[in-house]
Structure 1
Amino acid sequence: MFRKINNWLHLWMGLVSGVIMFIVCLTACLFAFNEEIRDLIYPPVKVSHQAKPVIPPSRIKTIVAEHFPGEPVTMVTYKKGRAIEVIAKKWDDNPMLLFLSPYTGKVLEKRIMLNKTTKFFYFIEEGHRTLWLPWETGRLVVNYGTLIFVFLLISGLIWWYPKKWNKSTRDKSFKIKWTAKWKRVNIDLHNVLGFYSLILLLILSLTGMIYGLKWFSKGLYWSTSAGASLPAWKATLSDTTKMNAVRSLEQVLDQSLDITMRRFQDAEGYTYRTPDTANHSSSIEINAIASLGKTYADQSLYFDRHTGKEITKEAYYAASFKEAPFGTKLRRLNYDIHLGQVLGLPGKIIAFLVSLIGASLPVTGFIIWYNRKFGKKGKKKKV
């Protein structure tokens, strides 16, 4: 009786969520190597690393003003062995990328940021996160569709598990019989590939749900941190009573970046966004990139934009990865695990293949259902 209910739920919940998970998994495949593809089409501008001071934010602002008068500096990224990447102009105003020499400020190259490749991957990412629906609706559909997918993986394992183990059931459970008719091959693709990818698909699904289901995110953190509550994110604010400080925003930015670089001397890079000049309570955030291509060990420092005083952040957000407790480490690893980049290129390859299998399961499952539901009727009509 239990197996009948399990199989019935697996079938109908699979039909309900199949299209959702096909799109989510397929877009995950397409997005897996987005950085590598972008770097292949638009290679990063490399500059030999030298033991010299890099140009400060104030100098970068002057350079941008020379090339784009009146336009703001939106975001700046320093990376060892590469040119400084500067995003100039607002996000909604066709932003430009300037590549500057870290040591002289010479403009090495200019690019349009929103090129065809970047727009394509933005489109794919939007489909992965929202199915191209309005944000609130899309996030609910994707995340609860993923929750159903998790159930399908578990119920599929129960359906896959044979009542009796013998040579015949072992062959059907662990091998694809490529010499059989296409219907049998399709069943094997669904069952065998589903079994081998089960654990990894669960990991990718659960790490994705962290970002869309608050109750799941809080519950998982609570269960992995000895009952501690997940701290709510609070914006770091500058002291608006110090607005009339003599120092300019550029001077404070220069000092803040210098402090960050001195504190995290082994970092592979640093990045910051220029605070919104219209919002006097906005603060300066400078992120130290511990390892290129990974985010879990990154650390940020926050500074008052008027005084340059460092703003103390809650321990959950301020602690280094090494010093963080297990629950916090797991949460900080979540993004890199979800993309597979925690293992570098091999991890991305695994994530790509597993996502491809995930996209195939709704298709092969639908074909199995269709053949069983309508295949025999079709034969009778022909007779």
Structure 2
Amino acid sequence: MRITLRKLIFWPHLISGIIAGVVIAIMSITGVAIAFEHQLLDWADRDSRQVQVPAPDAARLPIDELLARVRAARPEAQPSGVTVYPEPTAAVLVSTGRSSGVYVNPYTGEVRDQGAQGWRKFFHVMEEWHRWLGAQGDNRAMGRAITGVCNAAFLFLAITGLYLWWPRKWTMKTVRPTLWFRGGLRGKARDFNWHNVIGFWSLPVLIVLTATGMVISYKWASDLVFTITGNTPPATQGPPSAAPVKVPPPLEGAKPLGLDALFTEARKQAPAWENISVRMGGGPRGNAPQGRGPQGQGPQALAFSIRETGAWPLFASTQVSLDPFTGQVLRRETFADNNLGRRLRTWMRFLHTGEALGWMGQLVAAIASLGSVLLVWTGFALSWRRFFPRRQARASASEEASTTTEQSEPTA
């Protein structure tokens, strides 16, 4: 039997698809499910996020007072961050965990739960299956390893699929059947047509989704982004975080400023701000003692993240670190200030979800993910017919004979 390059590529393509197909389908289905998570949750929270302004000149409660109201209303919850919005009718969001929080009326201090708890649980489950195949606890490492390998297999399938699709001769007759769906087809011909058409149109997006997934899954892939751009890779996996900012020793007896004063200083750094968030995990108002960092490590700067209206990229933000005792700006860093490796790594994080290009990018990513589910289905169907052709032939012959017999039987 003559071995050609096409056969050498086809069989690894086929075997990889069979082995990784189920996991690829799970990641694709869950990817579609969580494609518009943020928009749906924002829509579900629309009532909780809106407040009534008592009067045009109504005074807002201090943010420290709002945090005290949250602690009183939710003793089991520890505030970990605050997000404020410029609209007078917008509530203040107080984060109490990675994906949990409450809304607080800035005029009355009323604490409101986030809406659509059922939707939040649904998205949480979908994310667990997308990342770890639903594994819990110590089993998550195994689940993450499996999804990482299957994502790499999907990238291999996309690249080899392009070669297998590539026509030997570029003519309208050879290209047309693989560029659009053909009507009247059944069985193997239909599956082959669907597999090629969906693969062709989804290929550019799927390569981006799987390649960026590799960067998210593997530290060596993330480090490679920095290495090829001539930058030193960060020590930890994931999007790089800014180095800690040292705070000058405060004067004897100095006390931290109120959060309102610090937010006022942060607003000056970006007049056209869309929202401003502050992390409080290790600052004066987090779990640490007043004015001290974790385990008495000394004063910690408060890091503010500022999203600006009309910013580009859409996910860009300005990071401002303030001295909690004086309000002095200790560091100000925009997206453009980052080195090329860090900028590319951040782009890849948001290209993976499509958010880098807004809702249109999310829609394209969702459609491509849905197409990959059909690629798995048609790929399995074609593989079944390849490995079990005789059984299908006998079944078809049996059905044909049965139909002939029924048609020849006399009617009552």
Q: Sort the TM-score into its range (normalised by shorter chain).
A: 0.7 to 0.9
Whether contact under 8 Å (1:130, 1:138) holds in the other structure is yes
Matched, 1:351 2:369: no
CA distance in 1, matches of 2:219, 2:94: 32
Contact kept? 1:95, 1:114, Cα under 8 Å: no
Contact 2:319 2:333 in 1 (8 A): no
Q: What's the counterpart of residue 272 of structure 2?
A: 266
Is 1:277 the equivalent of 2:287? yes
CA shift at 1:5, angstroms?
Answer: 0.8
Give, as a single letter, the amino acid of the residue that structure 2 aligns with 1:164: K
Equivalent in the alignment of 2:84 = 78
Aligned-pair CA distance for 1:57: 2.6
How many residues are matched? 369
Question: What is the alpha-carbon distance in structure 2 between the residues aligned to residue 97 and residue 172 of structure 1?
Answer: 54
Q: Render the CA deviation track for 1:323-356: whole Å, top value 9, x for unaligned.
A: 4454443333223322222222222211110111
Q: Is the 8 A contact 2:61 2:109 kept in 1?
A: no
Question: Given the superposition, is the C-alpha separation of residues 377 and 168 from structure 1 closer, same or farther in structure 2, using an over 3 Å criterion?
Answer: farther
Q: Which moved more, 1:370-379 or 1:107-116?
A: 107-116
Task: Give the distance between the partners of 1:65 and 1:15, measured in 2 at CA.
Answer: 52
Contact 1:21 1:145 in 2 (8 A): yes
Greater CA drift, 164-173 or 60-69: 60-69
Aligned pair 1:256/2:266, yes or no?
no
1:1-383 paired onto structure 2 within 5 Å: 1-43=4-46, 45-46=49-50, 55-65=61-71, 67-68=73-74, 72-81=78-87, 83-87=90-94, 90-91=96-97, 97-101=102-106, 105-107=107-109, 110-112=112-114, 115-133=117-135, 134-223=139-228, 225=229, 227-232=230-235, 233=241, 236=244, 245-248=253-256, 251=257, 253-275=259-281, 276-278=286-288, 279=294, 280-281=296-297, 283-291=301-309, 296-303=315-322, 310-312=329-331, 319-324=333-338, 326-380=340-394
Q: In terms of mean alpha carbon deviation, does 44-53 or 163-172 score higher?
A: 44-53
User: Which amino acid is the alignment partner of residue 130 of structure 1?
Assistant: W
1:14: how far off?
A: 1.1
What is the CA distance between 1:207 and its match in structure 2? Answer: 1.8
CA distance in 2, matches of 1:80, 1:220: 36
Q: CA 1:356–1:234 in structure 2 vs 1: closer, same or farther (change >3 Å)?
A: same
Deviation at 1:160, TM superposition (A): 1.0
Structure 2 CA distance for aligned equivalents of residues 122 and 295 of structure 1: 24
| Post-superposition CA distance 1:180-209 (Å, at most 9, x none) | 114322211111110111111111112222
User: In 2, Cα distance between the equivalents of 1:80 and 1:184?
Assistant: 58
Give the aligned partner of residue 315 of structure 1. none
Q: Could you tell me which amino acid in structure 1 is paired with residue 278 of structure 2? A: Y
Superposed CA deviations along residues 203-227 of structure 1, whole A, max 9, x for unmatched, are: 111222222211111112332x2x2
d(CA) in 1 for partners of 2:243 and 2:336? 24
Distance 1:74 1:151, change over 3 A: same
Q: Is the 8 A contact 1:98 1:107 kept in 2?
A: no
Judged with a 3 Å threshold, the aligned counterparts in structure 2 of structure 1 residues 329 and 238 are, in CA distance, closer, same or farther, namely: closer
| Gap runs ≥5 in structure 1 | 313-317
CA 95–188 in structure 1, closer or farther in 2 if over 3 Å, else same: closer
Distance between the aligned counterparts of 1:173 and 1:287, measured in 2? Answer: 48
Post-superposition offset of 1:306 = 6.3
Question: Cα distance 1:189–1:335, how it changes in 2: closer, same or farther (>3 A)?
Answer: same
1-side partners of 2:171 and 2:360: how far apart?
35
- Give 1:270 shift: 0.6
* Structure 2: gaps (5+ residues): 236-240, 289-293, 399-412
Structure number with larger C-alpha Rg: 2
Mapped to 2, the partners of 1:244 and 1:277 lie a distance apart of 22
Given the superposition, is the C-alpha separation of residues 231 and 255 from structure 1 closer, same or farther in structure 2, using an over 3 Å criterion?
farther
Normalising by structure 1, we get a TM-score of: 0.83
**Amino acid corresponding to residue 161 of structure 1 in structure 2:** W
Q: Report the CA distance between 1:34 and its aligned residue.
A: 1.2
Give the letter for the 2:221 counterpart: F
The change in CA–CA distance for 1:96 and 1:266 in structure 2 (over 3 A counts) is closer
Distance 1:288 1:55, change over 3 A: farther
Is the Cα contact below 8 Å between 1:340 and 1:350 reproduced in 2?
yes
In 1, Cα distance between equivalents of 2:251 and 2:394: 83
Q: Is the 8 A contact 1:288 1:300 kept in 2?
A: yes
